[in-house]
């Protein structure tokens, strides 16, 4: 955290997003006749809302840790180190397992498509054509691209946060123009950018909303309204963003209270530390678990979801341990010395 005090409420939100995305993807794959308990709400998608929250958190914490960038080399290396070693470990394990199972190391077509995987962009660009995607979801590619442009965004933001926000909203508006983009609006980079940039705004002005009871109550009321009252006055994607912002305030306030408890602090902090690893492996674990047993009703679904989440956390822990061993190796220490002088 670059020597800064750790925000425990952010840890709580990050843990919620990790578990929430497991629940959403779990119910994406359950049988159609079941109630999809954590799939959609009255005005949008839980999955898209959670991803928007994830981008809010990412923008907020990146700005918290890097309100200024002294060295681009150091900044990009630290971003690389936080994403790619763990991603490569998870991908290679899944790739070799799947390749052996289907008896084809080039199951994704042209091997040149592995370049997309090399940069973690295979999931994001899967909508264009099949490739070698195995782990990471589409939003890994989105966060990679957002990290890539962050220094430019930060420069504009530090000169004028208003200008940066206006530009972000204008670009987001183009996502609604018919026929302009092939990618779904929820995955559109401008939709991701608006959440990311607003996260920076929220972090800059955190003293105005942090632990504010009035903002918590208003956000909670708005969240309940968006969740349960059907409104067709605006696009569903906008509701996803609005709910994500409201839940950001709600869970920040609740997290500030819950994380005072020692047990909750330990549990949610641990899940928060594993959140990226969970995002990488959860879809594979879900497919594995549901491939062996498909629950027949809602009660069994919740029980099997709990088991699936536990396995996902366990596998994520193993992945994190392996990644930490790699990052502490002499080879990486030499690389660190080159980039972190």
Please report which confidence band the pLDDT of residue 38 belongs to, taking 50, 70 and 90 as the band edges.
confident
CA distance 9 to 26: 26
| pLDDT tens digits for range 279-323 | 999 999 999 999 999 998 888 999 999 999 999 999 999 999 999
CA distance 78 to 62: 12
CA distance 73 to 81: 12
Angle subtended by helix axes 236-258 and 46-65, to nearest 10: 60
CA distance 14 to 8: 10
Tell whether the model's pLDDT for residue 66 goes beyond 50.
Answer: yes
Q: How long, in residues, is the chain?
A: 341
Strand 40-41 to 44-45 pairing? antiparallel
Question: What is the reported pLDDT for 1?
Answer: 40
| This prediction's pTM | 0.94
Cβ-count burial 44-63 (b if 16+ within 10 Å, e if not): bbbbbbbbbbbbbbbbbbbb
| pLDDT tens digits for range 166-215 | 999 999 999 999 989 999 999 999 999 999 999 999 999 999 999 999 99
CA distance 159 to 247: 29
Residues 6+ apart with CB under 8 A from 236: 43, 44, 45
Q: What is the CA 89 to chain-centroid distance, rounded?
A: 19
Q: Bridge partners of 41?
A: 44
Do the beta carbons of residue 142 and residue 192 sit within 8 Å?
yes
Provide the mean pLDDT of the chain. Answer: 94
Tell whether the model's pLDDT for residue 33 goes beyond 60.
Answer: no
For 45, list phi and psi in degrees, rounded to 5. Answer: -115, 130
| pLDDT tens digits for range 70-114 | 999 999 999 999 999 999 999 999 999 999 999 999 999 999 999
Do the beta carbons of residue 282 and residue 47 sit within 8 Å?
no
């Amino acid at each position: 955290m670059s020597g800064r005090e750790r925000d425990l409420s952010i840890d709580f939100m990050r843990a919620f997003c990790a578990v929430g995305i497991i629940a959403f993807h779990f119910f994406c794959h359950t049988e159609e006749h079941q109630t999809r308990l954590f799939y959609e709400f009255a005005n949008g998608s839980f999955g898209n809302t959670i991803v928007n929250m994830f981008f809010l958190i990412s923008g907020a914490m990146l700005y918290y840790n890097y309100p200024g960038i002294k060295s681009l080399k150091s900044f990009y290396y630290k971003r690389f180190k936080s994403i790619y070693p763990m991603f490569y470990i998870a991908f290679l394990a899944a790739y070799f397992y799947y390749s052996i199972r289907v008896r084809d190391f080039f199951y994704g077509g042209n091997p040149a498509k592995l370049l997309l995987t090399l940069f973690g962009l295979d999931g994001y660009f899967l909508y264009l054509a099949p490739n070698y995607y195995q782990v990471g979801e589409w939003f890994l590619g989105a966060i990679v691209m957002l990290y890539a442009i962050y220094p430019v965004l930060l420069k504009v933001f530090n000169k004028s946060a208003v200008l940066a926000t206006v530009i972000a909203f204008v670009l987001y508006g183009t996502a609604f123009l018919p026929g302009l983009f092939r990618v779904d609006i929820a995955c559109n980079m401008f939709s991701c950018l608006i959440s990311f940039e607003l996260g920076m705004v929220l972090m800059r002005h955190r003293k105005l909303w942090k632990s504010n009871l009035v903002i918590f109550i208003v956000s909670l009321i708005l969240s309940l309204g968006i969740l349960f009252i059907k409104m067709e006055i605006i696009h569903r994607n906008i509701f996803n963003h609005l709910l994500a912002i409201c839940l950001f305030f709600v869970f920040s306030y609740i997290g500030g209270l819950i994380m005072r408890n020692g047990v909750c602090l330990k549990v949610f902090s641990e899940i928060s530390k594993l959140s990226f690893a969970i995002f990488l492996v959860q879809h594979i674990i879900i497919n594995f678990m549901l491939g062996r047993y498909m629950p027949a009703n809602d009660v069994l679904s919740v029980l099997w979801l709990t088991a699936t989440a536990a396995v996902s956390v366990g596998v994520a822990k193993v992945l994190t341990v392996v990644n930490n061993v790699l990052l502490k190796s002499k080879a990486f220490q030499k690389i660190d010395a080159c980039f972190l002088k």
